[in-house]
Amino acid sequence: MARIDHLAGHRRYLALLGASYAVIWTLLAIHPLHPTDWWMENVLIFFTLGFLLVTGRWFLFSKLSYTLTFIFTCLHTLGAHYTYSEVPYAEWFPSLFGAMGEGVEGEARNHFDRLVHFLYGVLITWPYREAFYYAMIPRRTYWSYLVPLVFSMATSLLYELLEWGAAVLYGGEQGMAFLGTQGDIWDAHKDMLLAAYGSLLCFAIMLVVQWASGRDFAREWGERQRTLRR
């Protein structure tokens, strides 16, 4: 009965997140700035959703992890609508915050891509650590931090390689829109470094939570899922 209740609660929550994301995705799919870039960027979304659907038969992430993933996919979809290098946040800040946001205007570089790479590390490292405790039984706790950090860095590297491959394949304006270097030859290196910094920040938050509560929630969730599977 506990297993049934556990699944039912998650399915309701996932249905809510799924419906919310479907609405957001549909709105952002209307007249994207570069349609080809939009579909290329959405390959990541389709892969992520497919992965969650397939693995959901054996492993459920916590509601917190699904929420963090939802936030990241929304940010990525927003970037896909405009292309990362052309998200008009400089126009949004003054209208949202008045005089406090005026300093954002006039920036030579659009930093939305840097923000999302950093937030990738912050938002996705928690789910990675839950999955680690489900899939592995570490002899030392530090592996539960090192492996998710390395995985976060590796997936960031893979994404940069995919960007490069797509830019070579399509070439021209579409390829450069997807690559989004904005003239910085070290753009990919900085993006990967920011993802690593984001993971480290997530670990710092985890340690603070553990210190304050006396509990390791990511570990508890991953181990609980492994136990329920038996």
Question: Average pLDDT per run of 10 along the chain, which is 230 residues long?
Answer: 61 89 95 85 86 83 94 93 84 57 56 90 94 82 90 88 73 56 70 92 96 93 79
Domain hosting 141: range is: 2-229
3-class DSSP state for residue 166? helix
Half-sphere exposure of 221 (CA within 13 A, CB side): 19
Distance of CA 136 to the CA centre of its chain: 23
Residue 27's identity, in one-letter code, is L
Domain count, the chain: 1
Q: Give the angle subtended at the CA of 59 by the CAs of 56 and 64, to the nearest 5°.
A: 90
Residue labelled with tokens 């959405």: 42
Residue 5 pLDDT: 58
Residue 120 pLDDT: 95
The pTM for the full model equals 0.85
* CB distance 153 to 196 below 8 Å: yes
* CB distance 218 to 126 below 8 Å: yes
User: Length of the chain, please?
Assistant: 230
- One DSSP character per residue, 28-93 reads HTSS-SSHHHHHHHHHHHHHHHHHHHHHTTT----HHHHHHHHHHHHHHHHHHHH-GGG--HHHHH
Half-sphere exposure of 158 (CA within 13 A, CB side): 7
pLDDT tens by residue, 123-176: 999 999 999 998 887 767 888 999 999 999 999 888 888 777 776 776 555 555
**Nearest in space to 80 (alpha carbons), one of 128, 127, 124, 46:** 46
